[in-house]
Chain A
Amino acid sequence: DIVMTQTPLSSPVTLGQPASISCRSSQSLEHSDGNTYLSWLQQRPGQPPRLLIYKISNRFSGVPDRFSGSGAGTDFTLRISRVEAEDVGVYYCMQATQFPHTFGGGTKVEIK
Chain B
Amino acid sequence: VHLFESGGGLVRPGGSLRLSCAASGFTFSDYAMTWVRQAPGKGLEWVSSIGGSGVITFYADSVRGRFTISRDNSKNTVYLQMDSLRADDTAVYYCAKVFAIGYCFGGTCYGPPDYWGQGTLVTVSS
**Assuming the A-B contacts A49-B116, A99-B49, are A54 and B99 also in contact, with contact meaning beta carbons closer than 8 angstroms in the complex?**
yes
A96 contacts B102, C-beta separation under 8 Å: yes
Pick from B46, B59, B114: contact of A51, CB under 8 Å: B114
Do A103 and B45 form a contact, CB below 8 Å, given A33-B103, A48-B94, A48-B117?
A: yes
**Interface pair A37/B111, CB less than 8 Å apart:** yes
Complex interface: chain B residues within 8 A of A60 (CB): 99, 114
Question: Are B112 and A54 neighbours in the complex by a CB distance under 8 Å?
Answer: yes
Q: Is B60 close to A, CB under 8 A?
A: yes
Q: Please name the residue on chain A nearest to B115 by beta carbon.
A: A51
Residue in B60, B102, B110 whose CB lies within 8 Å of A100: B60
Number of B residues near A (Cβ < 8 Å) is 26
Asked if A96 contacts B110 (CB within 8 A), the reply is yes
Q: How far is the CB of A52 from chain B (nearest CB, A)?
A: 10
Indicate if the CB atoms of A103 and B99 lie closer than 8 Å. no
- The residue of chain B having its C-beta at the shortest distance from the C-beta of A39 within the complex is B112
The CA of A37 and the CA of B100, in the complex, are separated in Å by 11
Q: B112 touching A51 by the CB < 8 A rule?
A: yes
Tell whether B55 is near chain A: CB-to-CB under 8 Å.
no
Taken together as a complex, chains A and B put the C-alpha atoms of A35 and B118 apart, in Å, by 30
- A82 on the B face (CB < 8 A): no
When chains A and B are docked, how far (Å) is the Cα of A49 from the Cα of B118?
A: 9
**Residue A89 at the chain B interface, CB threshold 8 Å:** no
The 8 closest A-B pairs by CB, nearest first: A39-B112, A48-B116, A101-B46, A103-B44, A99-B58, A106-B43, A96-B112, A51-B114
Question: Residues on A close to B: CB < 8 A?
Answer: 1, 31-33, 35, 37, 39, 41, 43, 48-51, 54-55, 60, 90, 92, 94, 96, 99-106
Interface of B toward A, CB cutoff 8 Å: 34, 36, 43-46, 49, 58-61, 94, 99, 101-103, 110-119
